[in-house]
Amino acid sequence: MKNTPFTEKHIALGAKMAAFAGFNMPISYTGINEEHAAVRNNAGVFDVSHMGEFIIKGPHALDLIQRVTTNDAAKLTVGKAQYSCMPNKNGGIVDDLLVYCIEENNVYMLVVNAGNIDKDWNWISEQNINNAEMHNISDKTCLLAIQGPNATRILQKLTDIDILNLKYYTFEKGKFAGIDNVLISATGYTGAGGVEIYFEDNNDAANKIWNAIFEAGAASGIKPIGLGARDTLRLEMGFCLYGNDIDDTTSPLEAGLGWITKFNKDFISKEIFEKQKADGLKKKLVGFEMIEKGIARHDYEIKDFEGNTIGRVTSGTQSPSLGKAIGLGYVDAKHAAIGTEIYIKIRNTLLKATVVKIPFA
């Protein structure tokens, strides 16, 4: 099991640790609900250094990215990022990812899910027919996500970059906490605002940056946050989690990701998605709230009023912000309309839920 440069700090802080994507990661420190509220209302720090980062560069870099992703990376200019996904040849999803434009038409950074690093690297390499230059920098890249409505205010004193006015899905490189060449990005997985910072752990940079963040935020009550709250925060926003809500068998259109599927370019499985769009989807990912008491979990069956199976749950939790159980799941398209009553099979009992608009919070 791998460690991040912050593992010993998590252990020293009393974090509950567990294996995740091959890494020893903090699940919670003081409790998921408390950590969730800290991010929604103030600011929290996530160690997400387990994520993967690839550099794609050279004259064929953009062509490769355009071929393997659904979104239109040609629209990216220096300092901008976009959410995208990589389709397989059968209309499923290899992974979802972020694409950063470091140097227009020449240098890009892809940020992929921790559990898919090797899979994604091999997949992109197979499609690299024009020999774009590729570098896997995952093992030497640190990533901290500082999220919450007060995150940028707390961090501004640590950098000359104007992060208070950094627009969503843009980034800048500069000095942070005395460390050079830090990439600060107005992105995140919580819907609570904030930034993500990428840097190489040279000359004890990880230790210096971690300590500087918590010193800067001490008076404001900044907290370390585990992966448990990261999951409840993302679910309240209706953000898809790879391996749960999207995978090699689900299409971006079925997952509600048509907004990142651009048909003005050629990419893998484009024809499959065009046909799905023309013919109509057979299943759709929907959000739902439990009406009767119970928490839906991954792979629970979704039924209709007559007890027929119409889908399955992909994610579910008790929402700390809303005080009610929520979830995501795929259902037959005719049951996907907002307000539709559905039933979740929990311990051989059918409990009523209703399809709702996402985000939940």
Alpha-carbon distance of 316 to 235, in angstroms, equals 8
Confidence of residue 265 (pLDDT cuts 50, 70, 90): very high
Q: 3-class DSSP state for residue 352?
A: strand
pLDDT digits (tens, 9 = 90+) for 275-291: 999 999 999 999 999 99
- Rg of the chain over Cα atoms, rounded to whole angstroms, equals 21
Q: Which two tokens stand for residue 43?
A: 């600011």
pLDDT digits (tens, 9 = 90+) for 341-360: 999 999 999 999 999 999 99
Do 42 and 150 meet the contact criterion of CB atoms below 8 Å apart? yes
Whether the per-residue pLDDT at 117 is higher than 90: the answer is yes
Position of tokens 């159980």? 325
pLDDT digits (tens, 9 = 90+) for 188-229: 999 999 999 999 988 899 999 999 999 999 999 999 999 999
Q: In sequence order, what DSSP letters do the residues of 155-186 get, joined into one string?
A: HGGGBSS-GGGPPTTBEEEEEETTEEEEEEES
Mean pLDDT of 231-255: 98
**Contacts for 312-317: CB closer than 8 Å, 24+ residues apart:** 313/344, 314/244, 314/245, 314/285, 315/231, 315/235, 315/241, 315/244, 315/245, 316/235, 317/231, 317/232, 317/235
Do 266 and 67 meet the contact criterion of CB atoms below 8 Å apart? yes
Position of tokens 């599927």? 261
pLDDT digits (tens, 9 = 90+) for 57-97: 999 999 999 999 999 999 999 999 999 999 999 999 999 99
Residue 203's pLDDT is: 84
Give the predicted TM-score (pTM) of the model. Answer: 0.96
Mean pLDDT of 171-179: 98
Bond preceding residue 359 cis, omega within 30 of 0: yes
Residue 172's pLDDT is: 98
Position of tokens 């104007």? 162
pLDDT digits (tens, 9 = 90+) for 130-158: 999 999 999 999 999 999 999 999 999 99
Residue 281's pLDDT is: 98
State the DSSP code for 339: T
b/e per residue 92-106 (b: at least 16 CB within 10 A): bbbbbbbbbbbeebb
Mean pLDDT of 3-13: 97
